[in-house]
A and B are shown apart, each in its own frame.
Chain A
Amino acid sequence: MPLHFELVTPARHVRSDDVHMVVVPGTEGEFGVLEGHAPFMSTIRDGALQIFKTAGASPETIEVRGGFAEVGENGLTILAEHVEG
């Protein structure tokens, strides 16, 4: 089952994808989000998101600054003020 992942900045909708897992650098430690994760909200420290397209694939990284993560029924949404890469 894929995880629906969205990355949004004030200027544009950066990504909207179905992926296997995303590792998010939360303020209180990194956490990985898989499909079916419990509803969850966290602020993010400035750092890299790691996106695993499929299980075991090498991750794609996206640098975010000023971020906020929300996990709900329809997957993971990251709101970030700045995105690089």
Chain B
Amino acid sequence: MANLKELKGRIKSVRSTQKITKAKQMVAAAKLRRAQEAAEEARPYAERLNAVMASLAAKVGDSAAAPKLLTGTGSDQRHLLVVVNTDKGLCGGLNANIVKEALRKAAALREAGKTVEFYLVGKKGRAPIKRANASAIAKHFDTSDVRTPGFNEAEAIANELLEMFEDGAFDVAHLIYPIFKSALAQNPTVQQLIPVPAPEAGDVPKADAVVEYEPGEEEILEALLPRYVRTQLFAALLEREASEQGASMTAMDNATRNAGDLIKNLNIEYNRQRQAAITTELIEIIAGAEAL
């Protein structure tokens, strides 16, 4: 049985924890709005690029001149998993879920006899993936030194990946990142990054036949493919940002509520004990007075 002083100390400590989680929750809520806006702003570029890519890819298609980034190296033996994790914790099960998805994919690929390597973005995925696959980690990219990762970071990551691809370090790259659905749901998804999956033409290509290309269609496609990869990574970073804040908000809301419950119970306990002490004292006084 804890005594009164100990109980008081515990109430105080839980209360200060609650203050921290509450503050983090409010910060996350504010950042979430900004992250969602950023994701919104990025959409037009991605959509347009997608549309152009789709029409070009349909045209250049399977011809021998099609760039390697679109057709692949001709083998699918070596896979690279690009796993996008957050840099900071306090966001519930988000990172655990991403890592789980990545390991699941890796296991499936290994089962099929492929070799798997990891390219890790963000700090929080490193430790758990390293534990199981210490030798398979090709590289990691640190995004923790910038406040909000933007297009420059996406560009740096993409350039490094493209270089690795040029050097023949892998055949297929998959991107694993959380998709932000709502503050309650962020789904980790796996998406093929390289070779670029031919984007689907949304609607029937309109009278495209008359479009002039400068230089040629293939050259344009070749110039656009790396850009497409960069855009994909940028989108993944934006989704990660929104997911992190959303998950953080929910997790911190829960933590604040739990702390509240804990404080309530501790308070009841504290009051009960204080009352017990007073009652005991009274009984002693009365008993003493009666004895006289």
Contacts and interface: CB of A to CB of B under 8 A. Distances in A.
Nearest to A68: B224
Interface string B31-62: 00000001001101110110010000000000
Interface of B: 38, 41-42, 44-46, 48-49, 52, 150-151, 154-155, 208, 210-215, 219-220, 223-224, 227, 230-231, 234
A10 B213 CA distance: 23
Contact of A68 (B38, B52, B154, B210): B52
Interface string A1-44: 00000001111110000000000001110000000001111110
B45 to A, nearest CB: 5
B214 A81 contact: no
Contact of B48 (A12, A39, A79): A79
Given A43-B219, A68-B223, A13 B214 contact: no
Interface of A: 8-13, 26-28, 38-43, 66, 68, 70, 77, 79, 81-82
Given A43-B219, A68-B52, A26 B45 contact: no
Given A11-B42, A13-B44, A38-B210, A66 B227 contact: yes
A42 B230 CA distance: 19
B42 A10 contact: yes
12 contacts: A9-B151, A10-B45, A10-B46, A10-B151, A13-B44, A26-B214, A28-B214, A41-B214, A42-B215, A42-B220, A43-B223, A79-B49
Contacts of A11: 38, 41-42, 150-151
Question: Do most interface residues of chain B lie in helix, strand or loop, or is the interface mixed?
Answer: helix
Main secondary structure of the interface of A (DSSP, over half): strand
B52 A27 contact: no
Contacts of A43: 214-215, 219-220, 223-224
Given A12-B41, A41-B220, A68-B227, A27 B214 contact: yes
Contacts of A42: 213-215, 220
A39 B211 contact: yes
A51 to B, nearest CB: 19
Interface centre among A9, A27, A77, A79 (most CB of B within 10 A): A79
Contacts of A82: 151
B52 A41 contact: yes
